[in-house]
């Protein structure tokens, strides 16, 4: 396996693409690539077809996929949207390219363009491609317009079973997706990856607060009682336990964490599916969660701020380093939420810098999107405010999948 990445910024999107492709190919050392992944800011939309031709001309890759983002990244740098401090000129396009040549992996790009939206029917189409290719992973790059994540994932599972679904939702305006020579909007670009399964790290950016307890009364998405007490009372106790006090809580976000493995004890970071709190009923002492809940489920409230997100990412990366067990990462993809980056951490290059620090320097490409896909507790889920890192070991061996 050999891979390389390139990142370029310029007023001419095609020239920036050529520069990024040439850098990626030079760093890979390959004469041609099997796969090229292209992430670009929305400024490049008018030249997207010409960019794809440039990618294929320089890399020779038969498989090309990509999407628009409010920012893009490689292992060297993050280039965020024009609203961020230190961002490029709004008339400039940023382009990140990753090229891969591998005897161990087979790549199958495809496009699902459903006029009725990206729901269960679209998921079944994507699942069928997975089944045909006998793939170990599916990368998805959907448009947010018409996207219905739960039905989409249900459709994939119905057809293909529990194959990991990984990826990010296109962002920026105008939105677009890239597949071989096609430029689409409102569509889903997919990439099946057959061969050794990747390692996956899911950093939901949260710190558990308070204690985990069992839900004792619930209906739909409403948690009425936790451990026989009003849910709002348990939430208040969790908030009171936060290191840093009320001042930290005022500047942070509060969420619910739903344990994915009821048999695991003790529970820690990465053991929860994190979901928004969508309301409180003070009269009943109940809280609403943006996910169906049930009696018997374990819940622990979560806090999200820059400190919690940095700690969570470091813990996720440390887990990936252990799972690599001394192997070198061959290449990776990083799907980062647009709600993270400089806006959350106050500095640029936060996540890629931490990835380099913990895992070393390896070819990486990604973008800042409108949501992320990754498994937690052996089930695929849609996430927000999350960083999803997908790593393929350089030796092409089949690693143990990292518990998310």
The reply to whether 279 and 325 lie within a common domain is no
Is residue 403 one of the residues assigned to a domain? Answer: no
Q: What's the pLDDT at 378?
A: 84
> How many Å apart are CA 265 and CA 274, to the nearest integer?
18
Strand runs labelled E in 182-316? 182-184, 188-194, 199-203, 207-208, 213-219, 222-226, 229-230, 253-259, 272-281, 286-289, 298-304
The reply to whether 76 and 163 lie within a common domain is yes
The reply to whether 259 and 387 lie within a common domain is no
Of 276, 304, 332, the position where a domain reaches its end is 304
Q: What's the pLDDT at 396?
A: 65
Q: 140 near 388, Cβ under 8 Å? A: no
> How many Å apart are CA 19 and CA 38, to the nearest integer?
13
Of 304, 327, 351, the position where a domain reaches its end is 304
The reply to whether 134 and 252 lie within a common domain is no
Number of structural domains the chain divides into: 2
Q: 12 near 89, Cβ under 8 Å? A: no
Q: 134 near 162, Cβ under 8 Å? A: no
Radius of gyration of the chain (CA): 21
Q: Which domain holds residue 46?
A: 2-203+310-393
CA distances from 168 to 24, 138, 261, 268 (A): 22, 12, 25, 25
39 CB contacts (<8 Å, ≥6 apart)? 66, 67, 68, 69, 72, 73, 95, 96, 365, 366, 367
The reply to whether 134 and 255 lie within a common domain is no
Cis peptide before 162 (omega within 30 of 0): no
Cis peptide before 266 (omega within 30 of 0): yes
> How many Å apart are CA 227 and CA 216, to the nearest integer?
6
Q: What is the pTM of this model?
A: 0.93
Is residue 348 one of the residues assigned to a domain? Answer: yes
Q: 394 near 349, Cβ under 8 Å? A: no
CA distances from 196 to 259, 332, 393 (A): 28, 14, 9
Of 260, 281, 304, the position where a domain reaches its end is 304
Q: What's the pLDDT at 82?
A: 55
The reply to whether 223 and 132 lie within a common domain is no
Is residue 260 one of the residues assigned to a domain? Answer: yes
The reply to whether 89 and 18 lie within a common domain is yes
What are the tens digits of pLDDT across the range 92-117?
999 999 999 999 999 999 999 976 78
Q: What's the pLDDT at 114?
A: 77
H helical segments located in 279-337: 306-324
> How many Å apart are CA 111 and CA 178, to the nearest integer?
9
Could you tell me which residues are beta bridge partners of residue 258?
273, 299
Assign residue 50 a region: left if phi > 0, alpha if psi is -120 to 50, beta otherwise?
alpha
The reply to whether 338 and 257 lie within a common domain is no
Q: 10 near 93, Cβ under 8 Å? A: yes
Give the number of residues written for the chain.
404
> How many Å apart are CA 129 and CA 392, to the nearest integer?
21
Q: What's the pLDDT at 169?
A: 98
Is residue 402 one of the residues assigned to a domain? Answer: no
The reply to whether 128 and 272 lie within a common domain is no
Is residue 295 one of the residues assigned to a domain? Answer: yes
Is residue 191 one of the residues assigned to a domain? Answer: yes
> How many Å apart are CA 84 and CA 3, to the nearest integer?
30
Q: What is the 3-state secondary structure (H, E, C) of 323-338?
A: HHCCCCEEEEEEEEEC
Is residue 135 one of the residues assigned to a domain? Answer: yes
Q: 133 near 349, Cβ under 8 Å? A: no
The reply to whether 214 and 173 lie within a common domain is no
The reply to whether 50 and 164 lie within a common domain is yes
Is residue 43 one of the residues assigned to a domain? Answer: yes
> How many Å apart are CA 67 and CA 172, to the nearest integer?
10
The reply to whether 130 and 17 lie within a common domain is yes
Grouped pLDDT means (10 residues each) for the chain, 404 residues: 96 97 98 98 95 98 98 96 58 95 97 88 96 95 96 96 96 96 97 96 95 96 98 96 86 93 78 94 96 96 95 96 96 97 94 98 98 93 97 73 44
Q: 342 near 374, Cβ under 8 Å? A: no
Q: 118 near 198, Cβ under 8 Å? A: no
């Amino acid at each position: 396996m050999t891979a390389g990445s390139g990142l370029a910024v310029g007023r001419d999107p095609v020239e920036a693409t050529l520069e990024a492709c040439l850098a990626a190919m030079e760093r890979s050392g390959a004469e041609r690539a099997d796969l090229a992944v292209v992430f670009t800011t929305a400024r490049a939309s008018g030249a997207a077809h010409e960019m794809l031709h440039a990618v294929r001309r320089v890399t020779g890759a038969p498989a090309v996929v990509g999407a628009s983002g409010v920012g893009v990244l490689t292992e060297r740098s993050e280039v965020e949207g024009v609203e961020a401090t230190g961002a490029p000129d709004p008339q400039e396009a940023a382009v990140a390219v990753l090229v891969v040549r591998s005897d161990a992996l087979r790549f199958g790009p495809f496009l699902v363009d459903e006029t009725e939206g990206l729901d269960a029917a679209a998921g079944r189409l994507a699942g069928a491609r997975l089944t045909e290719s006998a793939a170990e992973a599916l990368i998805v790059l959907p448009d947010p317009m018409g996207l219905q994540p739960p039905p989409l994932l249900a459709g994939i599972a119905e057809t293909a079973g529990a194959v990991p679904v990984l990826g990010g939702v296109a962002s920026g305006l105008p939105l677009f997706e890239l597949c071989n020579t096609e430029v689409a909007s409102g569509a889903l670009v997919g990439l099946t990856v057959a061969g050794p399964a990747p390692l996956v790290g899911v950093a939901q950016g949260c710190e558990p607060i308070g204690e985990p307890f069992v839900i004792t009364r619930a209906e739909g998405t409403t948690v009425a009682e936790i451990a026989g007490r009003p849910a709002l009372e348990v939430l208040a106790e969790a908030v009171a336990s936060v290191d840093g006090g009320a001042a930290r809580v005022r500047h942070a976000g509060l969420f619910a964490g739903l344990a994915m493995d009821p048999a695991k004890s003790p529970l820690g970071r990465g053991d929860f599916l994190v979901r928004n709190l969508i309301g409180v009923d003070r009269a009943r002492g109940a809280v609403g969660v943006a996910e169906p809940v049930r009696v018997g489920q374990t819940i622990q409230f979560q806090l999200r701020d820059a400190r919690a997100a940095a700690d969570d990412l470091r813990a996720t990366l440390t887990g990936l380093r252990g799972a690599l067990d001394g192997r070198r990462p061959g290449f990776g993809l990083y799907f980062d939420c647009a709600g993270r980056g400089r806006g959350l951490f106050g500095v640029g290059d936060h996540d890629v810098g931490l990835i380099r620090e913990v895992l070393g320097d390896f070819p990486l490409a990604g973008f800042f999107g409108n949501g992320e896909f990754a498994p937690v507790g052996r089930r695929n889920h849609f996430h927000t405010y999350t960083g999803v890192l997908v790593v393929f070991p350089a030796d092409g061996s089949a690693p143990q999948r990292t518990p998310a």
